[in-house]
Amino acid sequence: MKIVLLYIIYKVYNILLKYCLVNFIKNNII
């Protein structure tokens, strides 16, 4: 159960990180 929770947190963290990175790049280009 703990491992599943960690996996979900890891996945969400990666998605948020990619989203922030994409927004950051877009803001810098524009």
11 is in which domain, residue-wise? Answer: 1-30
Number of structural domains the chain divides into: 1
What DSSP state is assigned to residue 30? -
pTM: 0.60
What pLDDT score was predicted for residue 29?
Answer: 78
CA-CA-CA-CA torsion sign (4, 10, 14, 16): positive
What pLDDT score was predicted for residue 21?
Answer: 94
Residue pLDDT, tens place only, 1-30: 799 999 999 999 999 999 999 999 999 876
What pLDDT score was predicted for residue 22?
Answer: 94
CA-CA-CA-CA torsion sign (16, 17, 18, 21): positive
For residues 6 and 10, what is the distance between their CA atoms, to the nearest angstrom? Answer: 6
For residues 22 and 8, what is the distance between their CA atoms, to the nearest angstrom? Answer: 21
